[in-house]
Structures are given as C-alpha cells and as structure tokens.
Amino acid sequence: MQPQIYLASNSPRRRELLTQIGVHHTVIGVNVDETPREREAPAEYVIRMALEKARAGHHRVESLTPMPVLGADTAVVVNQQILGKPKDQNEAVAMMAQLSDTTHKVLTGVALIGPQEATRLSVSHVTFRAVSQKEAIAYWQSGEPADKAGGYGIQGLGALFISGLDGSFSGVMGLPLFETAELLHRAGITPLGVDRDNL
C-alpha cells in the first residue's frame, strides 16, 4: 500500500498505533531541541514540540512526494513538573516515587502539516497504586522505562502499577487516536475509508 503520511517520529509505539488504524506511513527521523522554555506551561510545551517535530519533518521532505507530516509529543506531568525520560536507575526510581499512590496527567500534543498546520491536545489522568522501591528497581531492570516519558509504559509492564485511567489509552502511549483521526480527516485521510461528512 502507498503511504498516506510522513511520521516525524522514531517511536515504535506511534508507528504501531498508526498501523492499528490502517494509516500507511513513512517514518522520517527528526532532531529538535526538547528543552522546555522558562515558565512554559506543559500543555503549551507538548503542542510546541509536536509542531516543531512536524515542521522539521516537513522541511526534510519538501522535495519528495507531497504528503502531510504528523508530529507528536508526550509529557508526564506531576504538580506542573514535566517528567522526561529517566537517565539512569536512580532517576527512574525517583520518578516512580513521585508517581506512586497518586494521580498525574499525561499530555500529548499532535500536529499535522499539510496544506495547513493544525494541532490537537489530549489530556489524560492516570492513577498509580503504591509502588515500592523494590518494585521500581525491578521495573527499571526490565529495560522498559528507559525510553519512556515519566519512566513507564502503559502498554507494557507499567500497566501493573495503574489502578485507574481517565482519558485516552493511546494518548498515554504517545499518539491519541481520536485526535489524530480528526486531524487526518481534515487533510482528507479517513482511516476507515468512510467520509464522516456523508454518514
């Protein structure tokens, strides 16, 4: 099948989610500075990052087959603090202590650049049960947390710690499918092959 969009992300989870809804895509790697700006709100940050990734991808493929470019960014937020990807075991265990026995936000910004730029924001609330230090160390040693915002993956072993979810499972994974489908629809791409305007 011919690709329908470019995905400006190396995330295997985002590729998996697009495949899940039947959106054929070509991956393009991009590098952007992901440092939050001073006093930048987490929601503004994830939207800016999604846009910057999509713009960087769009710049890379300008001379290639014209297709929309999708970018996304996810942040785990505790008390307005963004938790990035843990650098080592100590940082991962410290993050797990912050998440343990509390509810935090997961924000995912999505941007699509085609003829126009458009963005969407997904906000989810994730509740963790109490997690012991021993469990946090064992989880780090599984290898799963290393490349994940907030140091956990909802679709993997991290699900063992989650007692509640109010929001989007796919958004917590890294690509909220409802919001993504809205953006794709605006660009004339319908995952089900059905134009919603004609339903």
Catalytic residue list contains 33: no
Catalytic residue among 73, 101, 147, 195: 73
Pairing of strands 5-7, 25-27: parallel
- For the segment 119-173, what is each residue's pLDDT rounded down to a tens digit? 999 999 999 999 999 999 999 999 999 989 899 999 999 999 999 999 999 999 9
Q: DSSP E strands: which ranges in the chain? A: 5-7, 25-27, 69-78, 81-83, 103-113, 117-128, 162-166
**pLDDT value of position 199:** 39
- pTM of the predicted structure, to 2 decimals: 0.91
Which positions ≥6 away from 190 have C-beta within 8 Å? 184, 196
Supply the range of the domain harboring residue 186: 5-198
Number of domains in the chain: 1
- CATH number of the domain at 13, please: 3.90.950.10
The model's confidence at residue 62, banded by pLDDT at 50, 70 and 90, is confident
Q: Are 4 and 67 in contact (CB under 8 A)?
A: yes
The model's confidence at residue 191, banded by pLDDT at 50, 70 and 90, is confident
Average pLDDT over residues 61-72: 87
pLDDT tops 70 at residue 26: yes
Q: Picking from 114-123, 166-175, 184-193, which range would have the lowest pLDDT averaged per residue?
A: 184-193
Q: What would the two tokens of residue 167 be?
A: 């929001």
Rounded to whole angstroms, the Cα distance separating 145 from 128 reads: 15
Q: Picking from 52-66, 87-101, 163-177, which range would have the lowest pLDDT averaged per residue?
A: 52-66
